Amino acid sequence: MLSPFKILSKDPNCQARTGILYTRHGAVHTPVFMPVATQGSVKALTDEDLKNAGAECLLSNTYHLYLRPTTKLLQQLGGLHKFMHWDGSILTDSGGFQVYSLPKFRKIKEEGVTFQSHHDGSKHLFTPENVIQFESEIGSDIWTMLDVCIHAKNPTKHDAREALDITKRWAQRAERAYEKIVPVQNIVQNTDGSFTVNNSLLFGIIQGSIFPDLRKEAALHMAGLPTHGYCIGGLSLGETLEQMNEAVSAVTENLPEAKPRYFMGLGTPVEMLNSIERGVDMFDCVWPTRVARNGMVMTSQGRMNIKNAAYRTQDIPLDDQCDCFTCRHYSRAYLCHLFRAQELTSHRLLSIHNIRFLIHLMEQARTAIKSGTFLSFKEDIIQQYSQQG
Ligand SMILES: [Zn+2]
C-alpha cells in the first residue's frame, strides 16, 4: 500500500531521518511531537495556542470519545475537527491502551475486549471492526488498530506471546474492516514528491513487550499487511531505557523504510531522541501538559519547578532560548506568583511552554539530522538534562 510519506533526509551515522507525512489535513513534518487532546482538548489550551506552538498533528483517544460525547454524536456534528475547531491533522489511538489501564474491568476474548466504563460502570465491547468504525465516526486522519497491551515491567514471555498473537489476529480483522470503509485508496503522488491524500490512513500496532525476538516477529507480520504506517505500542510502561532501546531497534530494523513509525505514549526528551536515533518518526504524550499543571517546566538548562521560592523575584523568562508565547510575554516571577496563587492561567501558560519546548526540540532534531550531526546534538541535550534544576 502506498504510504503518503516522503523521506527528506537521513543522518549517515544512525537511523534518524526527516520526512513529511501527508494527511487529508496537510503536511506533518517528522520527527514530530503530537500533543494529546484526550477528550477533544489539549488540557488548558485552545486550537490557537497549539497552532502558535507549531503543532501539526494532535492525538485523541477513541476510548474517551466513544464514551463521551460518543462517536455517533461527533459524526452528527461533523466530526472531531469541526467540533474542536482544529484544521490540522488528528491521529486517534485504538482504545487498547485505555482498556489495558482498566485491568479490573476488562475481559479479553477472541471477539474483542469487554470493559466497564470508568464513568458509570456500563458494559461495552471493543472489537477490531467496531474500533475502526468509531474512528471513522470521529473523522480522524490516522486510524490505529485495536491491540492488546501488557505492562513492560518484568513481563513474562508467556503473557507477551499471548498479547502479540491476539494483536496479530486482530490486525488482520482491523485491516479488512478498514477496506470496507475505505474500499479505494485516493492518494496521489505529485510530481514534486508530495502527496494529495483524500482518505484516512491506517496504522498497525506492533506489540511484543520487551522481547526483541517477539518485536521482530510483530514487525515482520505488520510489514506484510497493507497499512500506511506503524505504531510501536506497549513501551514506556515501566521497562528500563536499555530494554526500550533494544525493543525499538528490533522493530525499526524489520520495517520497510518508506513508511512512518510512531512510538505511542512517549514524550520525554532523552527517550524521544534515543528513539529518533533508531528510526522513529512520531511521538505523543500527555506528560508535558500534565507536569505543567504541577508547575514543572522543561528548559534548555534542564527541568525547573516554578513553585520554587527562588523564582519569586526573577524578572526573566522561563527559558531565554524559547520563542513561545509564555517566554515572550511573562517572567518567572509572574508565573511563580500565578502558580502559588492557584490561578488557572498558570496551567495554560506553563502548558504552552512545555508543548512548544518539545515541538522546538523536534525542529532542532530535524535540523541536526539534515546536517548529519544528530548524534552530537543528542549528546548535548542529554548533557543539559543531567544538570536538572
Ligand atoms: Zn517558552
Q: What's 154's domain CATH number?
A: 3.20.20.105
Quote the domain boundaries for residue 71: 5-285
Centre of ligand 1 from the C-alpha of residue 322, in Å = 5
The domain boundary residue, chosen from 285, 304, 338: 285
The domain boundary residue, chosen from 258, 285, 312: 285
CB neighbour class for 192 (10 Å; exposed up to 12, middle 13-18, buried from 19): exposed
Beta strand pairing status for 195-197 and 113-116? Answer: unpaired
Quick one: 66 and 212 in the same domain? yes
Q: Which residue is it, cell 532523552?
A: 270
Position 388 scores a pLDDT of: 56
Quick one: 156 and 297 in the same domain? no
Distance (Å, whole) CA 86 – CA 79: 11
Q: What is the mean pLDDT of residues 75-92?
A: 98
Instruction: Count CB neighbours of 373 within 10 A.
Output: 14
What grid cell was written down for 186? Answer: 485516493
Quick one: 140 and 58 in the same domain? yes
Centre of ligand 1 from the C-alpha of residue 334, in Å = 14
Centre of ligand 1 from the C-alpha of residue 326, in Å = 5
- pLDDT of residue 99 exceeding 90: no
The answer to whether residue 276 is domain-embedded is yes
Does residue 4 contact residue 33 with C-beta atoms inside 8 Å? no
Q: What is the mean pLDDT of residues 312-323?
A: 98
Position 389 scores a pLDDT of: 44
Q: What pLDDT digit, counting tens, does each position of 202-233 carry?
A: 999 999 999 999 999 999 999 999 999 999 99
Centre of ligand 1 from the C-alpha of residue 191, in Å = 39
Number of domains making up the chain: 2
Quick one: 281 and 297 in the same domain? no
Centre of ligand 1 from the C-alpha of residue 80, in Å = 28
Quick one: 247 and 316 in the same domain? no
Q: What SS3 string covers 243-282?
A: HHHHHHHHHHCCCCCCCCEEECCCCCHHHHHHHHHCCCCE
CB neighbour class for 164 (10 Å; exposed up to 12, middle 13-18, buried from 19): buried
Quick one: 327 and 245 in the same domain? no
Quick one: 303 and 164 in the same domain? no
Centre of ligand 1 from the C-alpha of residue 349, in Å = 9
Positions annotated as catalytic residues are 93, 284
